[in-house]
Structure 1
């Protein structure tokens, strides 16, 4: 009897639900600028998202946006809209779409697409004066996008 249970458990373990496959930048699907599905299948971490938003080598959102919840940021930008109350203005799916590629929601936006690897007009190849070859790596990873969205969801009026 114990042997049959062990065999049954082994069979069930082999047929467990498949792990969520991260959505690549070229496979992202927008619906009116929003992205309904998580890019990673995992919840974002708001604390990690705040770090991405304030780190120059990552998202550096504070270079363009004022966020009152981050009073220690020196010289916040003011060329993008304030992000206070972002969770009251946009849904999670809309925020994800804006972070991934704001131009899908706001056509004339100058905000960079943070999760894009192809379709650029003419990105430069670092300090060479030549156009970079696609596909390019996205600015943020899929998990970093989810982390930024998690942080933005904490910004309520």
Structure 2
């Protein structure tokens, strides 16, 4: 679901956004629910430790071990806007509103996820250790 809020400012340092977008930790239970929710598209490209989910993707890295491979800040930047790391990525920018093409009218000017939702997903992804 598209958020109805202005983007909060954040600082990118190297390959990470080290500080929470909300100033507080996210909820990993809500984060898991967001990851498996079809409207958010995660499982269209990724697979992971989700035995209850059918039709998981194989276009992008498996989410198993995500919390072992990347730091919280690195995951946050990937969720916010992975094009800052790789301009050819197929990962959509979940917390960006400018410079986008072919955006549905009802989603223009809104990020795909709110700052709270980004923090929830990051909180879940860091729990996925190998």
Q: TM-score range by the shorter chain?
A: 0.7 to 0.9
Bigger radius of gyration among the two: 1
Q: Secondary structure at the match of 1:37?
A: coil
**TM-score with structure 2 length normalisation?**
0.87
Is the aligned partner of 1:49 residue 2:31? yes
Given candidates 68, 89, 103, the residue that maps to 1:88 is 68
Matched with 1:74 is 54
1:36 aligns with 2:18: yes
Does the CA-based 8 Å contact 1:52-1:60 persist in structure 2? no
Please report how far the alpha carbon of residue 72 of structure 1 lies from its aligned counterpart in structure 2 after TM superposition.
1.0
1:65: how far off? 0.4
Are 1:101 and 2:74 counterparts? no
Count of residues in Structure 1 that have an aligned counterpart in Structure 2: 126
Q: Spell out the pairing of 1:6-155 with structure 2 (5 A cutoff).
A: 24-25=6-7, 27-57=9-39, 59-67=40-48, 69-120=49-100, 122-126=101-105, 136-155=109-128
Query: How big is the shift at 1:26?
Result: 6.5
Does the Cα contact within 8 Å between 2:80 and 2:94 map onto a contact in 1? yes
- Where does structure 1 differ by over 3 angstroms across 4 or more consecutive aligned residues? 124-127
Please state how far the C-alpha of 1:63 moved relative to its aligned partner. Answer: 1.2
Provide structure 1 residue ranges, at least 5 long, that are not aligned to the other structure. Answer: 1-23
> What do you get for the CA RMSD once the two structures are aligned?
2.1
CA contact (8 A) 2:17 2:77 kept: yes
8 Å contact 1:66–1:76 — kept in the other structure?
yes
List alignment gaps of at least 5 residues for structure 2: 1-5
SS of the equivalent of 1:27 reads coil
